[in-house]
Amino acid sequence: MKAVTANLGIGATAIAEWVDWFNNQRLHTAIGDISPHEHEIN
């Protein structure tokens, strides 16, 4: 059961990192090829 728990933790971390990238770092063409985070602070 420890292996399953460890794998779920790894998966949750990977998903959280992707969501952070998607919401804050990716470039978005509809807002001038800047990240959503940059758009919010400008």
- Segment 7-14 shows an average pLDDT of 90
Confidence (pLDDT) at 24: 87
CA distances from 35 to 2, 11, 16, 23, 32 (A): 38, 25, 17, 8, 9
Confidence (pLDDT) at 31: 92
Round to whole Å and give the CA distance between 18 and 31: 20
pTM of the model: 0.66
Q: Write down the residue that tokens 């990240």 correspond to.
A: 35
Six-digit token pair at 34?
């800047």
Share of the chain above pLDDT 90, in %: 52
Confidence (pLDDT) at 1: 57
pLDDT in tens, 20-40: 999 888 999 999 999 988 999
